[in-house]
Structure 1
Amino acid sequence: MGIVSALARTQISAGDYQFFIQTDAAINPGNSGGALVDMGGQLVGINTAIFSKSGGSHGIGFAIPSNMVRLVVQSALKGGTVQRPWFGASLQSLTSDIAESLGLDRPAGALVTSVHARGPARRAGLKVGDVVVSVDGQAVQDPEAFQYRFVTKGVGGTVEIGLYRDGKQVQANITLMAPVEDPPRDVRELSGPHPLSGSTVANLSPAVAVEIGMDGDGKAGVVVINVDRRSNAGRLGLRRGDIVVGVNNEEISTVKQLAVVLEAPAGDWRLSIERGGKVFNLAIQG
């Protein structure tokens, strides 16, 4: 018995699908995979993790919503990989100041900050400055809640998005399509006497961005998709989702270009890495 205290919780670091039901129902360590049921005995989630200061069952539990489980299981039964629909726009949370400037009475919804030129959001007429407030009539409070509502629709058909634009409520129908892979990913595992040795990289496309759970709409470049923690890249602290912006003052745009630059002998290395929208410049000797 317990209370559901939050939905669409993110940044739990318990899996690739970062949308969780938060509950104070007792979830014992080792119960991952067990059922979270409602008062009527219906399955609402699969227990995944618990935050407990004592190490026991008293704490905050997290469960994968049954709608997300259904999407993954159906894809697995068909023998394929899970395809998440592509929105084709970047979103950010609303602050009180932003909400007030847009004429909203409270900071609820997700602000559109960029729209991919070839994405379904652009085709549906979404614009920068729109505020997404609902998905098929269900209100969303922030970008994470939107992603959960949108992703669990699966690929195929359309979904109605509620928007706040110029003081008016409008609707747009978004096609539920798989993300495009443009440019081709060109996955390579880097090796050799350089700081990025031990990392696996790919050309950033909407398809790659969705697969690794990052916001890549409108971005181009080379993204890290895996890191061997015992390698040079691992010791450097490189992470999945980092974007290699530059090497030795040369701007990097493709995996092929990066491979060529890394083959050139260099005594010292200068790297520019983008993480979370910020660019970090690193200098590595020898």
Structure 2
Amino acid sequence: MKKPLLVLSALALGISSILTPVTATAALPLTVNNQQMPSLAPMLEQVTPAVVSIAIEGKHVSRQRVPESFRFFFGPDFPTEQVREQPFRGLGSGVVVDAKKGYVVTNHHVIEGADTILVQLSDGREVNAELIGSDKMSDIALLKLEDADNLTEIKIADSDSLRVGDFAVAIGNPFGLGQTVTSGIISALGRSGLNIENFENFIQTDAAINSGNSGGALVNLNGELIGINTAILGPNGGNVGIGFAIPANMVKSLSEQILEFGEVKRGVLGVQGGELTAELAETFGYETNHGAFVSQVLPDSAASEAGLKAGDIITSINGKQIQTFGELRAKIATLGAGKTVTLGVVRDGKEKTFKVTLRESSQAKVKADSLHKGLAGAEFANTTSSDGVKGVKVTNLDERSMAARYGLQKDDIIIGLNRQPIRNLGELRKALDKQPNVLALEVQRDNTVLYLVIR
């Protein structure tokens, strides 16, 4: 049986009109038989200015290695690889979350590979945007609008308080048509296992979703942001009434981490497990199958330090119930390293609580190939040296790479670039975004500090 296609690129929740048109002179609500009829118009008038359209331009770069026979015939100066650039354009949506500072949240896949990002506001103004940071694994990106004033921001709701059946309204830019609104309900919560992103805890809605709406807003009837639209389930990229949004609480946590660190400092609990079946629940003295079953607690982890054990059933995080192991994984990962959380646990049929301080993921690594050609072949991660110095550590290095030729070594810690302190990957990425012609890397190697010049 053919599986339905998950359409990801440039998608968002669109909105099909449910309102009766009124004339420009009709400022009052629509009335029938002298009774006021319900309308979303007053709420939308306040919210829609906070939803923007995003247009990007970039280049897809492909590299093909040139056969050695070419160099034999054309000489040693003949290039070792052939580089091709293919221009592309894309459309999406975004949401203003801080009007004073000009911050806009969208999806990572909306701006991935973009060289230029142009944001069109609801009043028609066009503003250039700078990428502050993004996280591919959760599909969130944070932009900053340049020289923009008189912005409208959207208030962020507590998405953990959502219930299936709550009304939801989606706002975005489907097919590049311009701002469009659709309505529906919350169809399901805590959706995961869709292989759309690495960390999935989606809100599912039946509000119409179409291409171009990725990064748009899913709001409640109070006009508060409850999610960022990200994907649809459909055979041909069109709406079939199954759309997904990233919960607002996840968006808020990820955005705050990007602002503070330039990246997402992913939290790690240190457990392995799976979904809780009815049979497992009965075996371990639990009455429902809502929760996350812990099959193993990793040694020297946050979970083992807090006292969690294999066979525990985690039922809540900070007092909010969780439905699946996928939801547990996504929420823990996006809460951030260093955060202390309270876990509700059922052990041997009895309810317990544990306070756990999350560790930082050791998998928070970045390949340097996309940062600068002179750093190609190296892999970086944030670190803190034994004497408390923060920087970017070379965790892996291809000995035949360009970075190795310039003298970079495994376990080197980059602490500065062009006389500018570097304390984390976000700062390194931001410094390299300026595209300096020469990199003067300040490197701590063992107990010495040295400079490596990369051109």
Give your verdict on TM over 0.5.
yes
Q: 1: CA distance between counterparts of 2:228 and 2:268?
A: 25
**SS of match in other structure, 1:63:** strand
Deviation of 1:172 (Å):
0.6
Q: Which moved more, 1:107-116 or 1:6-15?
A: 6-15
Deviation of 1:82 (Å):
0.6
Larger CA Rg, structure 1 vs 2: 2
Q: For the Cα contact (< 8 Å) 1:14–1:48, is it kept in 2? A: no
Point out where structure 1 has 5 or more consecutive residues left out of the alignment.
190-199, 208-286
Q: For the Cα contact (< 8 Å) 1:24–1:59, is it kept in 2? A: yes
Q: 1: CA distance between counterparts of 2:214 and 2:338?
A: 31
Matched with 1:21 is 203
Q: For the Cα contact (< 8 Å) 2:284–2:348, is it kept in 1? A: yes
1:4 aligns with 2:175: no
1:71 aligns with 2:241: no
Q: 2: CA distance between counterparts of 1:107 and 1:135?
A: 16
How high is the sequence identity, in percent, across the aligned residues? 41
**SS of match in other structure, 2:294:** strand
Q: Normalising by structure 1, what TM-score? A: 0.59
1:50 aligns with 2:232: yes
- Matched to 2:312, the amino acid is D
1:89 aligns with 2:275: no
Q: For the Cα contact (< 8 Å) 1:155–1:178, is it kept in 2? A: yes
- Matched to 2:245, the amino acid is A
Q: Normalising by structure 2, what TM-score? A: 0.38
Deviation of 1:52 (Å):
2.8
Name the Cα RMSD after superposition: 2.9
- Matched to 1:30, the amino acid is G
Q: 2: CA distance between counterparts of 1:96 and 1:79?
A: 42
Q: For the Cα contact (< 8 Å) 2:316–2:345, is it kept in 1? A: yes
Deviation of 1:108 (Å):
2.1
**SS of match in other structure, 1:3:** strand
1:143 aligns with 2:325: yes
Q: For the Cα contact (< 8 Å) 2:301–2:359, is it kept in 1? A: no
Relative to structure 1, the CA distance from residue 77 to residue 186 in structure 2 (aligned partners, 3 Å threshold; closer, same or farther) is: closer
Matched with 1:101 is 283
Point out where structure 2 has 5 or more consecutive residues left out of the alignment.
1-182, 370-376, 384-455
**SS of match in other structure, 1:78:** helix
Q: 2: CA distance between counterparts of 1:124 and 1:107?
A: 24
Matched with 1:35 is 217
Divergent runs of 4+, >6 A: 184-189
Q: 2: CA distance between counterparts of 1:201 and 1:104?
A: 48
Q: 2: CA distance between counterparts of 1:17 and 1:148?
A: 5
Higher strand share: 2
Q: 2: CA distance between counterparts of 1:79 and 1:153?
A: 14
Relative to structure 1, the CA distance from residue 185 to residue 74 in structure 2 (aligned partners, 3 Å threshold; closer, same or farther) is: closer
